[in-house]
Structures are given as C-alpha cells and as structure tokens.
C-alpha cells in the first residue's frame, strides 16, 4: 500500500489519471451538481494558455537565431521538405477523416449562424501583422508565428547575437517553469473538467463522442506503426524491425505519461544509433567525428517549434465537432480549414481549437468536449508525435548525408497499401456504427414533446377544433369596441394554425403549444381574461376550407365577424391589404429561407447562384403579393407557385414537383427536426422581414393595448426567452436532471 501511495506521489501522469477517474466518478455520482466546477476548469485552462504565446515567440526566435547560415540553409531545405512531406500525409488524413463518421441523422434548431454572412478570412491580415503586439494581444496565432520566424531568421545574419539568444532562452526556460507549475495543478484541473463533463454529458451525446475517440486512436496506431516506420524503411537502408526495436521503449514511455519532452534525449540517441548503423555500410570512409556531429542534435529539438503530426491530428476534432452538431464541413470549407488550421496549431492545441471553433461558427461549448476527449486522445497523439519526431530526424539526416534511396516500385507499393489500410479502417468504423451499432434518431421528440415554458398558473383556456359559437354577453351590455367585447365577455379569442412549427402546433400530448401560443397565454393572463383558440381554415363542422390557409380575405372575415381577436402565428408585415386587416407593431424579425432536400442545400447558398439556376421551381405557402413580388425580383427566372397545402402533404409526395418550399428560416429549421433528411438553406446575403400579429381592422384601442404589451414583453426579456426556447431550442433548463447515483439510486436529493 505504501508503495502505491509513493508511486502516485512521484508520478504526475498517475495523478492526472487518478484525477480524471475521480472526476468521472464524481460526475456520475453527483450528476449536474458538478456543473459548478466549470469555473475551476476554466481557470485551469486559462492558466495553461497564459504563457503559450510568449513561449512560442521566444522559443522560435532562439531556436532559429542560434543557427549559422550554412547549417540553417542545408537544414532548412532538407528538414523543411521532410516536414512538408509529413504534413501532407497528415493533411490527407484530416481530409479523409470524416469518411469514418457513421450515417447518423442529425438536425438542429435554428441558429443565428444560418443567417450571418460567411466570415471572410483576410489571409494577408492573418499571416502578415502590421502590429505584431496587437496580434499577440488578440491571439492571432499565424501572425505571431510569422513575426517570430522573421526575427529568428534575421538574427542569423546579426553579429554578437549570443546575449540576445541567451536572454530568449532564459525567457523560454522561465515560461516553461510557469507551465510546469501549472502542470502540477493538472490533477485538480482535469478532475474539475472531467467531473463537469461527466455530470452534464448525456448518454445520447456520448454515443457520438466515442466516434472521435475510436477514429483518433485508430489513425494514430496506423501512422505510428505502419505508415511512418514503413516510410523510413522505404526511403533509407534502415529496416522496419530495427526501427521498432530501437524506439519502442521510448514510445511506450511517451504514451504512458503523455509527454514527449521527457523522452526527447532517448529519441535523439535512438535515431543516432539507427543512422550510424547504416553509415559504415554506405560510406566506409566516413570520418568518426562527422558521424558524432549528427544533424539530429539540431533537427529534433528544433522540430518542437513546429506542430507535429500528433498535434495536427487534433485538428480532426473540428470536422468532428461540425458533424456532431449536425452542420458538417462542406468541401469548399476544407481549403480554409487546412490553410488556417496548420498555422493556428503552432500554439497550444486548446487555444488553436478555440480559434477554429469560432472560425467555423461551431458552438464554443464544444471546447469542453475537446478537453474531455483529449484525456483519451492525448496519449495516442503523443505516441504519433514520437514516431513523427523519429521519422523527421532520420529522413532529414539521411537526406543531408546522401543516404536517401528511391525504389520506385517499392515506394508505389507502400503508398497503395498505406492508402488502402487507411481508407478500409475508416470505412470499417463507418460501417460498424452505421449498420451494426446504429444510433436511433430522436431529436424530433425534442420538438414534439415541448411544453409551455414561462406560463405559470395560466388563465382558463380552451382549444376549439371548429369555429365556436359567438361569445355570450350579459343583457344590456354596451359594446363600443373590440376591447370592450374582450373585457365584458372575459374571453380573448385567438385564431391558430395547428402545424406552424415551432410557433403554433399540437405536441405529442395533444396540447396546442409554440412560441406564439405561449405569447397568447401571457397576454390573456395580463389582461385578466380567459383564452380560447379558434382554428384557421376550418368551418363550423371542423372541416378544412378549400382555400389558402393564409388567404387574407378569409382572415379578415374571421376578425370582422368577431370569431377571433388576434391571429397566430405572427406574420410578415406588408403594405397591401391594410384596408382589410391591421397589424400590431413588429416584435421580431425572421429570415427568408428554403426547405430543401439535403443534397440540394449547396445550390441555395446564395441568391447569385440561384439566379443562374434554370427551371427552378419554388412553392410559396402564402398569398402575400408583396413577398411573392420580392422573391420574384430576386429570382426572375424561377417558377413560383402559391400553394394551399401544408408541408407534410408535399413530403408525402416526395416534394414533387418543387425544388424548394419557401419558409422563414426559423420555421424551416424546426421542420428539419421532424424530417432530418431535409435541410434549411438561407441564401446569402440573408434577407430579413419584420413580423407582427394580425388584428381586426379599425380596432385602435385593442391595437394600442397589444402594442404597449408587446413593448413591455420586449423590454422585460419575455420575447427573447421564448424565442430562445421555441425557435433556438434552448431547452436545457426544462430537461430532467441527468441520471446520477445520488438522485436516482440513493434518492438523497430530489
């Protein structure tokens, strides 16, 4: 027992593993209570990030500045070409990595990123800083790298530079001391992060998370034990078995403690032995001193200034995160992903991941998942980094000393086998989790199970399936306005649609719910009257009226006949038809979008690309002439058809004969939850329109009350909170607490 305690105290790696295990246990035991540890985990991450930019600056300057021109030139050419070649291998891996993702359907509620214009990257600004200190302050990592390399290279040509280099090296050492101190806090930080993740991560989310862990480990093993050692044996006289025999102890150690720096001297020594063993065979007249003065003493330490393959493989988390949230990266995004990702990962992986998540508009809360899976994947990444360091050192040294050999047939055979092994491995993961262990799609239940969010102790309400009789009033009651009718009858009547997701629809329990339904409940409570919902498009027998459901003449008749006082869902403001109905003030905006088959989404990426599409057929579920004219002006060549059917009718016919169904992006996003094989497309630049409630004509008193009430609800945050809940799907506060031992097994808390 004493030996176990001593081994734990003496090994940081064991302490980190223990902290991780205890964190997982705490998360499972306490459940969502551990979310309070998020602050501690965030503080730990920031402490680790603090010295990263300064360390990168001084280490690059010192590492490059102390070289002489001749050595730097030869080393730079050979090591640089080798480095680029190895990077090309990992870039290929990053591109094919998504092939391993299974065919699991996914969809999401509306996100603002759908309507935001694509973020344009200014590569000149990104890589060439006009103010390097501003770049450091704003963590623009590629700019910092460019500046550091420029200073380091210029120092090569400077005389009497030793003092500067020594200062930089001392600064580098001091920053490493900070990092080592923070590393001692790793057991606590990892415990907090793991406990928070395990306590808040739901089982359905972990089902997707395991895909990245498996793929990352599999690719790391293939690269470490087949591709890289095989490449060395193909390009040099060194045999595969000699490579593995010489470095396996160092790789196992690096994997166990997840720290490559610790085994750096071992790797250098192993590489020297491997190269020295082939020198007498290829160059028996080689000078012994020349053998001892190996370029490996410079190449391997200097390589730590550049991201290794293990670190770059962490970039695979970005396409995984995009797939995880249901918005996988498109092929057109991969050039930006690669061109930006490699320079960004010159810095700390966590910092680089944060930057990349922001760049591709992936929710930044995915960072906590990245840190969680890094506990698993970091060891495989360190294993790969160790093998990469060996490959870089040996191939570069052999290139400088003329020991590279090209056997075209052997190289082609090795390349083909490596390609097939990689693709088949990814395909196997894809097949296994797509067909043997598939994940059942259930996000549609999230929408159809929603209940009213903010209403507490609502007024009495009733939902009519058909037009109800007129409201009963007390005898000799004088009615001078629609507001008088509502107050005296104690009833507010609201016309509704039962399939206008997520604004007004019937949930799985047969209840009428939605954002505008909830707004109606709040209005009736604030007015102190009961609430009745009257169906739109129904006669007094509950039968469908064969008319466009948004025919404004029909709506005007319902309002004028006092069948209803307000229409939901809210509709777009428009100038025509104001002689028949009135509008409240606008209380929100929506965006023009299209509900399309997933494979057609890219076609609808911009208005410009749509204008070039011939024979485009678009269905528009409204008779609003203003907005029909607006879309016709944007797409003059398209065939626009006003329809009187619901979207479900078209889906039953496989969407024929239309290419797209025009909707607000908010509504279309909700429909993708029900029909995940379809997608919402928002052509850029996004077009927004104001939304208001339809009111009876010439009812100024009612209009004034509704407008003042809407203003109050905007100011007190009611509209925003309902919008986030119903439209954006922010339902975390309404979900049952995640399963935990303390609540569901021991029943110590409710």
Looking at the structure, tell me whether residues 73 and 188 fall in a common domain: yes
Residue 42 token pair: 């965030």
CATH number at residue 273: 1.10.3860
Average pLDDT over residues 568-593: 84
Average pLDDT, stretch 41-46?
A: 82
Residue 43: pLDDT band with limits 50, 70, 90 = confident
Pick from 193-207, 328-342, 534-548, 606-620: least confident: 534-548
- pLDDT value of residue 75: 73
Asked if residue 50 and residue 114 are part of one domain, the reply reads: yes
Do the Cβ atoms of 622 and 667 come closer than 8 Å? no
Domain assignment present for residue 403? The answer is: yes
Residues 40/368, Cβ–Cβ less than 8 Å = no
- Domain identity same for 25 and 150: yes
Average pLDDT, integer, range 7-33: 82
Residue 321: which of 366, 352, 375 has the closest Cα? 366
Instruction: Kindly report, residue by residue over 466-481, the tens digit of the pLDDT.
Output: 888 888 776 666 778 8
pLDDT band at 579, cuts 50/70/90? low
Query: Which residue from 529, 363, 370, 287 is spatially nearest to 45, judged by alpha carbons?
Result: 370
Cα–Cα distances (Å) from 347 to 144, 278, 304, 337, 390, in that order, read 9, 36, 11, 16, 21
Give the pLDDT confidence score for residue 260 in this predicted structure: 77
CA quadruple 454, 459, 460, 465: dihedral, nearest 10: -50
Which of the two residues, 153 and 695, has the higher pLDDT score?
A: 695
Q: Provide, rounded to the nearest whole percent, the portion of the chain with pLDDT above 90.
A: 32
**Would you call 533 helix, strand, or coil by DSSP?**
strand
Instruction: Please report, for the domain that includes residue 600, its CATH number.
Output: 3.40.190.10
Q: How far apart are CA 24 and CA 464, in angstroms?
A: 51
Helices 203-222, 366-400: axis angle to 10 degrees equals: 0
Q: d(Cα 40, Cα 37) in Å, to the nearest integer? A: 5
pLDDT at residue 444 above 80?
yes
Amino acid 57: pLDDT: 84
Residues 403 and 510 reside in one and the same domain? no
- Give the residues across from 589 on adjacent strands: 690
Q: Are residues 524 and 628 in the same domain?
A: no
The pLDDT confidence band at residue 291, using thresholds 50, 70 and 90, is: very low
At which of 438, 472, 497 does a domain end?
A: 438
pLDDT confidence of 547, banded at 50, 70, 90? very low
Q: Which phi and psi (to 5°) does residue 739 adopt?
A: -55, 140
Distance CA 146, CA 127 (A): 6
Is residue 566 within 8 Å of residue 495, measured between CB atoms? yes
Residue 750 lies in a domain: no
550: confidence class by pLDDT, cuts 50, 70, 90: low
> Which one is predicted more confidently, 180 or 427?
427
pLDDT, average across residues 559-586: 84
Please tell me the distance from the alpha carbon of residue 213 to that of residue 119, in angstroms, as a whole number. 30
Residue 595 has pLDDT above 80, yes or no: yes
Task: For residues 34 and 125, state if they share a domain.
Answer: yes
Is 745 a member of any domain? no
Residue that terminates a domain, selected from 412, 438, 464: 438
Between CA 282 and CA 271 the distance in angstroms is 17
What token pair was written down for 157?
């040509």
| pTM > 0.95: yes or no | no
Mean pLDDT to the nearest integer, 132-161? 84
Alpha carbon separation from 518 to 134, 213, 710 (Å, rounded): 48, 42, 13
**More confident: 400 or 71:** 400
pLDDT for the residue numbered 58? 85
Residue 199 has pLDDT above 60, yes or no: yes
Q: What is the pLDDT of residues 377-432, one digit of tens each?
A: 888 998 999 999 999 999 998 888 888 888 889 999 999 999 999 999 999 999 99
SS3 per residue for 107-130 = CCCCCHHHCCCCCCCCHHHHHCCC
Whether 365 is covered by a domain: the verdict is: yes
Q: Which two tokens stand for residue 273?
A: 């032995």
The alpha carbon dihedral of 603, 608, 613, 618 has a sign of: positive
Q: 413 with 484, same domain?
A: no
Domain for residue 742, yes or no? no
DSSP 62-123: HHHHTS-HHHHHHHHHHHHHHHHHHHHHHHHHHHHGGGGS----------GGGTSPPPPP-H
- Check whether 117 has a pLDDT greater than 60: yes
pLDDT surpasses 70 at 286: no
Helix, strand, or coil (residue 487): helix
Examine the domain organization and report whether 604 and 580 are in the same domain: no
Q: Range of 204's domain?
A: 2-438
The mean pLDDT value for 282-310 works out to 65
- How many domains does the chain divide into? 3
How many angstroms separate the Cα of 683 from the Cα of each of 326, 602, 629, 665, 680? 19, 9, 17, 10, 10
Cβ distance 75 to 634 under 8 Å? no
Q: What is the mean pLDDT of the segment spanning 246-274?
A: 77
Q: What pLDDT sits at residue 292?
A: 45
CA dihedral 617, 622, 624, 626 (to 10 degrees): -30
| 450 has pLDDT over 70 | yes
Question: Do 569 and 639 fall into the same domain?
Answer: no
Burial of 650-675, coded b for 16+ CB within 10 Å and e otherwise, reads bbeeebeebbbbbbbbbbbbbbbbbb
- The set of long-range contacts for 325-332, using a CB threshold of 8 Å and a minimum separation of 24, is 325/106, 325/108, 325/362, 325/363, 325/366, 326/106, 326/107, 326/108, 327/108, 327/113, 327/362, 328/98, 328/101, 329/98, 329/360, 330/602
Q: Which of 69, 232, 45 is nearest to 152 (CA)?
A: 69
Q: What is the overall mean pLDDT for the chain?
A: 84
Of residues 122 and 315, the one with the higher pLDDT is 315
Best mean pLDDT range from 207-211, 288-292, 674-678, 700-704: 700-704
Whether residues 241 and 385 fall in one domain = yes
Tell me the C-alpha distance between 593 and 631, whole Å.
11
Confidence of residue 495 (pLDDT cuts 50, 70, 90): very high
Give the C-alpha separation, 76 to 82, whole Å.
10
**Which segment of 10-14, 292-296, 354-358 scores lowest on mean pLDDT?**
292-296
Whether 749 is covered by a domain: the verdict is no
Residues 409 and 456 in one domain: no
| Cα 9–chain centre separation | 38
CA distance 242 to 84: 25
Taking each continuous run of H as one helix and of E as one strand, the counts in the chain are 32, 14
Q: Is residue 565 situated within a structural domain?
A: yes
How much is the pLDDT for 120? 58
Q: Worst-scoring range by mean pLDDT, 30-39, 219-228, 532-541?
A: 532-541
The verdict on whether omega for the bond into residue 502 sits within 30 degrees of 0, i.e. cis, is yes
Pair (684, 698) in one structural domain: no
Least confident among 277-291, 424-438, 649-663, 712-726: 277-291
Least confident of 240-244, 256-260, 508-512: 256-260
Contact by Cβ (8 Å): 375, 190: yes
Helix (H) or strand (E) holding 237: none
Residue 697 predicted with pLDDT over 70: yes
Is residue 626 over pLDDT 60? yes
* CA–CA gap between residue 677 and residue 671 (Å, rounded): 10
Most confident of 74-83, 110-119, 498-507: 498-507
Cα separation, 696 vs 687, whole angstroms: 28
Strands 678-681, 617-620: pairing is unpaired
pLDDT at 564 over 80: yes
Domain boundary among 657, 691, 725: 691
List the beta bridge partners of residue 494.
Answer: 533, 566
The answer as to whether 277 is a domain residue is: yes
pLDDT band, residue 123 (cuts 50/70/90):
low
Which residues lie across from 491 on neighbouring strands?
530
Phi, psi of 572 (to 5 degrees): -70, 140
pLDDT at 318: 94
pLDDT for residue 521 = 95
Judge whether 23 and 192 are in contact, CB under 8 Å. yes
Question: Band of the pLDDT at 491, cuts 50, 70, 90?
Answer: very high
Winning range, highest mean pLDDT, from 30-39, 154-163, 310-319, 402-411: 310-319
By three-state DSSP, how is residue 690 classified? Answer: strand
Give the distance from CA 203 to its chain's centroid.
19
Question: Buried (b) or exposed (e) across 136-157, using 16+ Cβ within 10 A?
Answer: beebbbbbbbbbbbbbbbebbe
Torsion, CA 590, CA 595, CA 599, CA 605, rounded to 10: -30
């Amino acid at each position: 027992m004493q030996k176990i305690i001593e081994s734990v105290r003496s090994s940081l790696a064991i302490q980190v593993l223990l902290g991780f295990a205890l964190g997982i246990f705490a998360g499972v035991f306490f459940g969502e209570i551990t979310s309070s540890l998020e602050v501690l985990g965030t503080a730990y991450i920031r402490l680790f990030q603090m010295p990263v930019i300064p360390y990168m600056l001084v280490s690059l300057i010192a590492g490059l500045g102390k070289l002489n021109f001749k050595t730097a030139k030869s080393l730079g050419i050979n090591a640089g070409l080798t480095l680029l070649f190895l990077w090309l291998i990992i870039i290929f891996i990053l591109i094919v990595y998504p092939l391993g993702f299974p065919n699991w359907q996914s969809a999401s509620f509306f996100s603002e990123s759908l309507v935001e214009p694509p973020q344009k990257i200014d590569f000149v600004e990104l890589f060439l800083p006009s103010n390097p200190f501003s770049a450091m302050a704003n963590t623009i990592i590629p700019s910092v790298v460019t500046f550091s390399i420029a200073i380091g290279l210029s120092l090569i040509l400077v005389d009497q530079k030793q003092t500067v280099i020594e200062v930089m090296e001392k600064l580098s050492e001091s920053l490493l001391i900070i990092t080592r101190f923070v590393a001692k806090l790793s057991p606590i930080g990892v415990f907090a992060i793991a406990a928070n993740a395990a306590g808040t991560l739901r089982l359905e989310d972990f089902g997707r998370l395991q895909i990245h862990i498996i793929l990352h480990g599999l690719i790391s093993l293939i690269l470490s034990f087949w591709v890289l050692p095989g490449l060395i044996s193909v390009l040099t006289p060194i045999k595969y078995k000699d490579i593995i025999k010489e470095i396996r102890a160092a790789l196992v150690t690096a994997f166990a403690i997840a720290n490559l720096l610790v085994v750096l001297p071992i790797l250098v020594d192993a590489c020297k032995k491997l190269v020295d063993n082939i020198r007498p065979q290829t160059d028996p007249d080689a000078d012994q001193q020349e053998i001892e003065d190996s370029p490996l003493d410079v190449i391997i330490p200097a390589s730590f200034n550049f991201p290794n393959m293990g670190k770059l493989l962490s970039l695979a988390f970005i396409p995984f995160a995009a797939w995880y949230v249901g918005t996988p990266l498109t092929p057109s995004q991969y050039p930006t992903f690669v061109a930006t990702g490699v320079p960004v990962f010159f810095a700390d992986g966590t910092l680089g991941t944060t930057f990349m998540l922001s760049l591709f508009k992936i929710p930044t809360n995915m960072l906590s998942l990245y840190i969680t899976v890094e506990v698993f994947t970091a060891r495989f990444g360190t294993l790969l980094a160790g093998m990469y360091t060996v490959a870089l050192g040996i191939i570069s040294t052999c290139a400088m000393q003329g020991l590279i050999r090209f056997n075209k047939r052997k190289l082609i055979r090795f390349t083909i086998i490596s390609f097939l092994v990689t693709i088949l491995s990814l395909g196997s993961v894809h097949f296994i989790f797509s067909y043997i262990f598939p994940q059942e799609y259930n996000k549609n239940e999230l929408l159809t199970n929603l209940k009213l969010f903010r209403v507490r102790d609502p007024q009495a309400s009733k939902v009519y399936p058909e037009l109800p009789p007129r409201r009963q009033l007390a005898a000799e009651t004088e009615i001078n306005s629609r507001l008088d009718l509502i107050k005296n009858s104690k009833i507010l009547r609201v016309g509704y649609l039962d399939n206008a997701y997520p604004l007004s629809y019937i949930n799985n329990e047969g209840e009428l719910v939605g954002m505008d339904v909830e707004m109606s409940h709040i209005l009736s409570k604030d007015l102190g009257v009961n609430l009745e919902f009257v169906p739109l498009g129904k006669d007094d027998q509950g039968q469908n009226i064969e008319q466009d459901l948004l025919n404004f003449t029909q709506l005007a008749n319902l309002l004028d006949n006092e069948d209803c006082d307000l229409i939901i869902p809210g509709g777009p403001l428009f100038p025509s038809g104001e002689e028949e109905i009135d509008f409240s003030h606008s209380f929100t905006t929506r965006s023009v979008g299209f509900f399309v088959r997933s494979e057609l989404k890219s076609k609808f990426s911009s208005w410009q690309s749509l204008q070039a599409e011939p024979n485009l057929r678009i269905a528009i579920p409204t008779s609003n002439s203003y907005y029909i004219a607006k879309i016709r002006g944007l797409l003059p060549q398209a065939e626009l058809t006003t329809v009187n059917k619901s979207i479900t009718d078209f889906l039953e016919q496989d969407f024929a004969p239309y290419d797209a169904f025009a909707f607000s992006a908010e509504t279309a996003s909700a429909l993708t939850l029900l029909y995940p094989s379809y997608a919402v497309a928002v052509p850029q630049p996004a077009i927004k329109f104001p939304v208001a409630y339809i009111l009876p004509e010439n009812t100024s008193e009612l209009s004034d009350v509704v407008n003042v009430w809407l203003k109050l609800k905007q100011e007190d945050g009611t509209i925003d909170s309902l919008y986030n809940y119903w439209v954006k799907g922010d339902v975390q506060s309404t979900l049952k607490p995640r399963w935990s031992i303390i609540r569901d097994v021991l029943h110590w808390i409710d």
